[in-house]
Amino acid sequence: MLSGMPPIDVRDLGRLSTITAVLARHGFGGLVQAAGLSATPSGPTASAAAPWATRARDALVELGPTFVKLGQVLSVRPDITPAALIEELRGLQDHVPEAPWEGVKQVLEEALGGPLEATFSQFDERPVASASIAQVHLATLRVAEGVERQVAVKVQRPGIERVIRSDLHILHTLAGLLEGRVELPGLYTPQAIVTALERAVLEELDFTIEAQNAARFRKALARSPEAYVPEILLPWCSRRVLVMERVDGEPLSAITPDDPRAPGLARLIVDLSVRQVFDEGFFHGDPHPGNLLVLRDGRLCWLDFGLCGSLTAEMQDTLVTLLAAMVFEDAETLALTLHRAGGAQGRLDLRAFKGDIERLMMRYKGASYARLSERGSLLDLVELTSRYRLSLVPEYTLLARAVSLLDGVLRALAPGEDPVHLIRPHAARRLSERLSPERLRADGLRALLQAQGGLKSLPLQVSQLLMDLERGAIRIEAKDPDAQRLTDALGSAAFRLSLALCASALLISGAILITAPAAPVWGLPLGVVFGLALVIAAATMWSGLVAHTLLGDRLSLAGLRRRALGVLRFFVGRG
């Protein structure tokens, strides 16, 4: 859970009941039960014959805007989401009825700090687009005295942040209850998945992040006369309102392969995308056809910068190697590079990993977009790394999803093109730049500088090591999982033996007190009373011994404590 995120509040219990009922109705009652909850399906039960991914998508849609947005976030995380579910979520749209104008106007005036008429000379009350988090209106902005601009205004739906935070609280609680009870495919636990979703959704709620992304993107593509990014009017932007230049263009989805502009646009998209990744280290994470326009002068316009990725210089170098290995069909280099780029969870079978990569390359070799899978090669590659338990950084998985979307765009524009043919010149150029004398000289100097720093501090580190050895401050431990299991078994046996000895001693002592003649004290047979008490105590200890013998492998104090805390968090909130 992110810092400051409180557990579920009692006020959210009604919403929790709705969520569990919808999940049960769509065939996920087992998941609800695994969380230790019960639910009665509400309404007609979904068809059991429908694929589980289809039922999951339908459940998200029924649960409303927050869960639709969560589904969209899941659709761009192939490292978290199974392939079948990604396919179902690919076209998930969040078209919802427009919010009441009075609420929208209040949000605008609170963000602008004054009446709407003071900022806009004209404002269309009917939105041109309405989604789960925000809706877009057309307006005329008063820039200065006598100066106006035609703008598009993205305004957050009234109350949506409170709803999303409430649903995230519930998801955190459900994930906590499922932790350790269900095993998910891939590398992520339920809590880790919800945390990743939470971070992505909360960033989308802050429009200042999107404004900064758009301004950076506009600056990055300013050197490309074929590309255009609308200007973001930062003085009028805030967390809940985004004001940008209005542009008129033709949706890229309207361009058919028969259009004479199609081949040039396909090459332009590839060129600009490669430039984003390798020159700027900053790329558009959601380049679907709705976010790409063709302007009247032929330029390609990019929209919606709520989801962008940043790459470090090291990541860019890794991607150059990956790109070259894929284009020139070097499976071994690709396998080794992915292994270095992603942390391996356990031992990696490199031979099998290389073999699967070779089979993947053969599938894409010489194929046109029309013959390729709609998923795209990079998504298949990310899924493969997840199957081999290699954990890639989120930027790589976001890039894989972006490339998959671009594959779909290029498929519609130029279905006969070979994607490897389109990307090969870029791969060759980037690799030659990587191996240029200037770059090799710079890398060598950097390595020497790092080595100099390490060698300079080496005598001090050796002296410190010798001092620690002299004081006995260094301890070397060897851990053997089998030895630990043997130690646990011996400890459990010793506990049972001690319990049996104590119970036997109490039983014998009690029997002696009961049978031994003793004079009453104050009229009470105290010997018999104490004897019976010892016998009862002995019987209780024997019962505990039997329970520990039969159920000891299933009982865990840590697990019992976690479950108890999970139940308490249902009813106690931290505000």
Kindly report, residue by residue over 391-441, the tens digit of the pLDDT: 777 788 788 778 878 887 887 887 777 666 777 777 777 767 666 677 666
Whether the Cβ atoms of residue 3 and residue 566 lie closer than 8 Å to each other: no
Catalytic residue status for 286: yes
- Place 1 in a pLDDT band, splitting at 50, 70 and 90: very low
| Helices and strands: H and E segment counts in the chain | 20, 13
How does pLDDT run across 469-526, given as a tens digit for each residue?
A: 777 766 766 666 666 666 667 777 777 777 778 878 777 877 777 776 665 655 556 6
Q: Of residues 122 and 365, which shows the higher confidence score?
A: 122
**Widest CA span of the chain, in angstroms?**
116
pLDDT in tens, 10-42: 566 677 788 888 888 888 877 777 766 766 665
> Residues 278-333: pLDDT tens digits?
888 899 988 888 889 999 888 999 988 888 888 888 888 888 888 778 777 788 88
- In angstroms, the CA 388 to CA 391 distance is 9
Contact 190, 55 (CB under 8 A): no
State the average pLDDT over residues 366-370: 52
Residue 163 has pLDDT above 80, yes or no: yes
Distances (CA, A) of 274 to 282, 398, 429: 10, 15, 11
Higher pLDDT, 341 or 7: 341
Q: Provide the CB-side half-sphere exposure for 134 (13 A, CA).
A: 22
Q: d(Cα 537, Cα 499) in Å, to the nearest integer?
A: 12
> Are 504 and 510 a contacting pair, CB within 8 Å?
no
Q: pTM for the complete prediction?
A: 0.65
**Residues 9, 79, 286, 380: which is the catalytic one?**
286
Residue boundaries of the structural domains of the chain:
10-93+167-202, 251-435, 437-468, 499-561
* Helix (H/G/I), strand (E/B), else coil: 263: helix
Which element (helix H / strand E) includes 106?
A: helix 101-112
CA end-to-end span of the chain: 15
pLDDT of amino acid 2: 40
Is 50 exceeded by the pLDDT of residue 229? yes
Amino acid at 342: G
Between 341 and 186, residue with greater pLDDT? 341
Q: Which residue has the tokens 């880790």?
A: 192
Look-up of token digits 């009229």: 523
Tally of CB atoms within 10 A around 540 = 12
Share of the chain above pLDDT 90, in %: 15
Q: Please, which pLDDT band fits residue 125 given cuts at 50, 70 and 90? A: very high
Report how far residue 420's alpha carbon sits from residue 493's, in angstroms, rounded to the nearest whole number. 64
pLDDT of 3 reads 39
**Centroid of chain to Cα 123:** 37
pLDDT of amino acid 214: 93
Q: What is the model's pLDDT at position 252? A: 87
